[in-house]
Amino acid sequence: MLYLLGGLAILCGLILLGYLFVNAEPARLARRLKWIGIGVGAAVLIALLVLTEGRIAFWVAPLLALLPVLRRTRTMFTGF
């Protein structure tokens, strides 16, 4: 029964995402998809670096320090 409810919840979530995708403004959707693609690409690159190197703290510590800079540059370039 739990799997049925979980599957129903996932199905409802996918239907909601489809509805939001269809009714979104194309320019706004393109901007969001661009940033999502950049984020996923960066996450995959970081995951590959961590898996091949084996030193997680070596890669995560500089990224945590760069988070405020990344957020500021993102707000600077939202008009493009």
* Domain that residue 44 falls in: 25-80
Position 80 confidence tier, pLDDT thresholds 50, 70, 90 = low
Q: Tell me what the mean pLDDT of segment 15-36 comes to.
A: 90
- pLDDT by residue (tens digit) across 47-65? 888 788 777 777 778 878 8
5 belongs to a structural domain: no
CB 69 within 8 A of CB 75: no
From residue 5, alpha-carbon distances to 8, 14, 17, 20 in Å are 5, 14, 18, 23
pLDDT at 14: 96
Q: Largest Cα–Cα distance in the chain?
A: 49
CB 20 within 8 A of CB 12: no
18 belongs to a structural domain: no
pLDDT for 69 beyond 80: yes
pLDDT at 79: 67
Domain count, the chain: 1
53 belongs to a structural domain: yes
From residue 66, alpha-carbon distances to 43, 53, 71 in Å are 15, 21, 9
Q: Tell me what the mean pLDDT of segment 22-44 comes to.
A: 90
17 belongs to a structural domain: no
9 belongs to a structural domain: no
- pLDDT by residue (tens digit) across 33-43? 898 999 999 99
